[in-house]
Structure formats: C-alpha cells, structure tokens
Structure 1
Amino acid sequence: MSNAPAPQSAPAAEVPLSAPLYGASFGQAIQRFFKKYATFSGRASRSEYWWWALANYLIITVLYILIAVGGAYDPNTGLIVAGPLAIIAYVVLGIYGLAVIVPNLAITWRRLHDTNRSGGFFFLALIPFVGWIILLVLTLLPTNPAGSRFDA
C-alpha cells in the first residue's frame, strides 16, 4: 500500500474569447471584460455580466465614499464644500466613467445576445421610469441556446 498522490486531471481547455464563459469566476469575468473592451458581437454569460456589474458597483461606491469623506466644512457659509480628496475622487470618477462607458455597453449588448435578443434591446433602458427595470429583467434571464446565432 503506497501513499502515491492522486493523479491530477488535465486543466480545462481555455474558452476562446469569442465564446461565452459560463460559470466564470470574478477574476475571469473582469479579465474578459477588459479583453473584449469594445466587442459587440458574440455573447456574454450571466456570470461574466454580473461579476462585472458587482466590480463596477464596488468601484463606484468607493469613489463616492471618497467624495463624501473628502468634503470640508466651511465655517463662513456653514456648508460642506469639496476638499482636495473629493476633487481628486470626482476627477477619477469622471475618467473611470469615460473609460468604461463603451465596454459597459458592449457587455450588456453581448448579454442580450446570450438571451437570444438583439443588442438593440439596450435602448429600452431609455424609456422613462421603467426602461432600466426592463433591461434588468432581460439581463437576468437565463441563456437561450438559440442565442448562438449572434456568435461571430
């Protein structure tokens, strides 16, 4: 009887960028988000989309906290004004927003493709009051295999 190590299984084949990565981890989703920066063709799995949505939310939350903490009390007016930290956080937030606007649109477009809908459904979000709710529901829907028609 020997204590030989158990054989290791071969690593899973890397999923190409042109295919959705189902069951993506947080890190994989972030990597794929930036690798497919402006790719509107193909599909994005729910895990790819929602891990990125979480990361984006956390980044924006941290920046807004820095803005709130960076405020300074002005005794002359009795108001809280933006201090140096808040100004820096505003600038970083603006640059960050500009840097991710196209890839956010692209990943939403690809997520809609994965549910077998045209990326143009994104524009439903422009409907006042309910548009963002409709888009939220569409991005929450499960994968539809017929969405493979959008693969490039």
Structure 2
Amino acid sequence: MNWYVAVLKNYAGFSGRAHRTEYWMFFLVNFVISVVLNILSTWAKVFSFIDLIYALAVLIPSIAVGVRRLHDTGRTGWWTLIGLIPIIGTIILIVFLATDGQPGDNEYGPNPKHAPAVA
C-alpha cells in the first residue's frame, strides 16, 4: 500500500524513473479498488458515480507512473501512446513495463533500485 500512496504523492511527476515494484504495486492496488467499486456499482448507483470519480482521480498518476517506468527502461514517455494500437500495442507496452530497468544512471535520472525503499 505504501507504493500506491507514494505514486499518489508524486501526482503529476513525469520526470525521473520508477522501479518495477512501484509501477506494478500501484497497478495491482488500483486494479483491486476498481474491481471492488465496479462490483459495488452493480448493487447501488451511487457507487457508479464514486467509480467514475476514482477513475478520474487516478488517471494522471497512472499515466505519470507509466511514463516514469518507461524512463527506467531507457525509453521516452511517448511510448505510452503505443498502447492505443489494439492488441499488439498493448502487448508491446506490457513488455516494456515489465522489462528490468537500465543499470546505473540514464538520461532520466539515477537508478531507482539504489534509492531508499518506500517506508
């Protein structure tokens, strides 16, 4: 949960690099919350509104952490747009996001593996 909160605190931080754990833990928690809200929205209409508000609230942090994750692999954040290509683009983007980051520093900043862990 700390990784999720850390991404939300860096709400619109598109610069720097994001460790694989940071990205995928944010993705997992976000996915679980979305599924729960979606299930609840089938029982009560008020949860449909809450689900929409939540989706809009995490849209920018989701894009930002994805861009930082691509920076960690040495790619520009513009590669997120490849996900707009049906099937193939999404698969390529998932591979990029799951790839280990570049060792050492790159043009986007220091390696996040050597940064202190989120507490």
TM-score by length of structure 1 reads: 0.68
Shift in Å at residue 129 of structure 1? 2.4
Unmatched tracts of structure 1, length 5 or more:
1-26, 71-84
Contact preservation (8 Å) 1:42, 1:150 = yes
From the CA coordinates, give the structure whose radius of gyration is larger.
Answer: 1
Structure with higher helix content = 2
In structure 2, list runs of 5 or more residues that go unmatched.
111-119
Which residue in the other structure is 2:16 paired with?
42
Distance 1:37 1:151 in 2: 18
Partners of 2:105 and 2:80 lie apart in 1 by 16
Of structures 1 and 2, the one scoring higher in RCO (CA 8 A, sep 6+) is 2
Q: Does structure 2 retain, via aligned residues, the 8 Å contact 1:43–1:151?
A: yes
- Checking the alignment, whether the CA contact within 8 Å between 1:113 and 1:147 is kept in structure 2 is no
Give deviations 1:112-138, integer Å, cap 9, x for gaps.
Answer: 000111111100001122211111110
Give a deviation string over 1:51-84, Cα, whole Å, max 9, x none.
000001100110111123x1xxxxxxxxxxxxxx
Who is 1:61 aligned against? 35
Match of 2:107, SS state, is helix
CA–CA separation in structure 2 for the residues paired with 1:28 and 1:102: 18
Q: Where does residue 106 of structure 1 map in the other structure?
A: 64
Q: Residue 97 of structure 1 corresponds to which residue in structure 2?
A: 55
More strand by share: 1
- Say if 2:89 is the partner of 1:131: yes
Aligned residues: 110
Q: Secondary structure at the match of 1:148?
A: coil
Q: Distance in 2 between matches of 1:105 and 1:66?
A: 25
Structure 1 contact 44–110 (Cα < 8 Å) conserved: yes
Report deviation, 1:149: 1.2
The TM-score normalised by the length of structure 2 is 0.86
Q: Identity over the aligned pairs, expressed in percent?
A: 39
1:148 to 96, 106, 109: 106
Runs of 4+ more than 3 Å apart:
none
Q: Does the 8 Å contact 2:41/2:51 carry over to 1?
A: no
RMSD: 1.5
